[in-house]
Structure 1
Amino acid sequence: MQTVSVTVSVMTLTSISIDRWYAICHPLKFKSTTSRARTAIIIIWIVGLASDIPELLVLEAIEKTKRFSSIYLTQCEALWSQESETIYQIAKTIVLYILPLLLMSVAYYQIVRVLWKSDNIPGHTETVQMFNANAYNGFNRTATMGCTSTMAQIKARRKAAKMLVAVVVMFALCFFPVHLMNLLR
């Protein structure tokens, strides 16, 4: 079940990044529906469960000590060859680490570009200019509040962009040692 939970976690993070990319970079084409989310969840769990089948077939519980008969000193070991184990671990590293990391990196890079490069919120500048044109004595409280609101939204966007970068960095840092140890072992 460890492989299942890791696979589901990684695929969920990847799915969220693709969903966010689609919503932010292509907002007019994006349609978030309950059935779409349900389908994604079902696919993620099916793939997660299927990813555990090879280990389910080849792992066997073996006692690690001859002195004591204890379930606490039992370990699962693969019954297949070392070459098959190496190929499996390389494939697992590619599918559960490298590909998701690449997908998330590309998606979040494009999202960060969209969030960071835009200095205004679409349609918001026109509204502020309209209020300024109608203002008496060149000052309009609503227009000033609009500019403040725009700046707050830009700051919030940039903060969100930094958080997306942090998600990818944390994913890379946290999962790297696990995959490295599996490959070295």
Structure 2
Amino acid sequence: MCKTFLTVQIMCVSASVFTLIAIAVDRYYAVVHPTSSGVTMAGLRYILVGVWVAAAGTSVPEGLVLTSTTYQGVYTSDGQVMTTCDEVWPGPYYHAGYALSLFATSYLIPLSVVAVLYVRISRRLWYRPNPGASRNRAPAVNSNELYVSYNSRSDTVTTHIPTAAQSQSVHLQRKLQVIRMLLIVVVVFALSWLPLHILTVVSFFANLTNDTVIIMYHYVFPSIHCIAFANCGINPIIYGYYNNNLRKGLYQLFRKSS
């Protein structure tokens, strides 16, 4: 149990981070290279296997050094012999090296890759011409942009077609909405995981007192772990908030279920 719990925890955290990279790569090809064949089912299987193999690789060192230690003569508050799960490293440099490598592979590199891909996606969306637009004619009007008004006095229904300027404004708002969503995803990821990695690295190199260590491991670390793990649940909320089709689908699903 000692080896399993923390090892699986690191593996699952790394898998969620690597999945964000896979999603960013898929969106990059869908927007920047739309004519490509895309990801096939076989390719999807390779991606999933690659994500979990890479995640398992980041957790292997932790599983090798975790050891259950029993302290004879030391008892817990309920009278049982105290047993702890300790990391027994060959030397301090191994521990520091693993902490820095985990910081790089689970935070710095994924954040850099996702940020670069989303910047390129945003640039492509911003400079992409509106559908149906050309030099000599106004952009084509999307049927979703039409709206209907009802006059109760004359009992008539009127369909309003937006002008070219209004249509341009709608497309611009949609571009800004997607770019804003991508920016928020990157910022939330960076802010959610940064405190955990900073305190993890600092705890290895700083000369902390016993009282400080107790406070960190009993109060600070549980709080920042919750903040980091909450990132996995916040992303679907962000996607749903900025995706009108997803909101409509969920609304219809709840209406049918009720």
**TM-score band (shorter)?**
0.7 to 0.9
Q: 1:110 aligns with which of 114, 117, 120?
A: 120
| 2:178 matched residue in structure 1 | 160
How far apart are the structure 2 equivalents of 1:75 and 1:116?
55
Q: Deviations over 1:48-87 (max 9, x none)?
A: 122211111111133589222659x754321112211000
SS of the residue 2:25 aligns to: helix
Q: Distance in 2 between matches of 1:70 and 1:2?
A: 27
Which residues of structure 2 form unaligned runs of 5+? 1-7, 141-158, 204-258
Count of aligned positions:
174
Say which of 128, 133, 156 aligns to 1:125.
133
1:42 aligns with 2:60: no
Alignment of 1:34-183 (within 5 A): 34-62=41-69, 66-68=74-76, 74-80=83-89, 81-118=91-128, 120-122=129-131, 124-126=132-134, 129=137, 144=162, 148-149=166-167, 151-183=169-201
Q: In 2, Cα distance between the equivalents of 1:87 and 1:10? A: 20
**Structure 1: distance between partners of 2:23 and 2:139:** 38
Picking from 28, 40, 48, the partner of 1:33 is 40
Distance 1:97 1:74, change over 3 A: farther
Q: TM-score, normalised by structure 2?
A: 0.59
Instruction: Using CA pairs under 8 Å that are at least 6 residues apart, name the structure with larger relative contact order, 1 or 2.
Output: 1
Cα separation, 1, equivalents of 2:101 and 2:43 = 28
Q: CA deviation at 1:29?
A: 2.4
3-state SS in 2 of match to 1:66: strand
In structure 1, runs of 5+ residues without a counterpart are 133-140
Q: Which moved more, 1:23-32 or 1:91-100?
A: 23-32
- The alignment's C-alpha RMSD in Å is 3.0
The amino acid that maps onto 1:86 is A
Q: Which has the higher helix share?
A: 1
Aligned CA distance change for structure 1 residues 131 and 180 (closer, same or farther; 3 Å): closer
1:41 maps to amino acid:
L
State the TM-score, normalized to the length of structure 1.
0.80
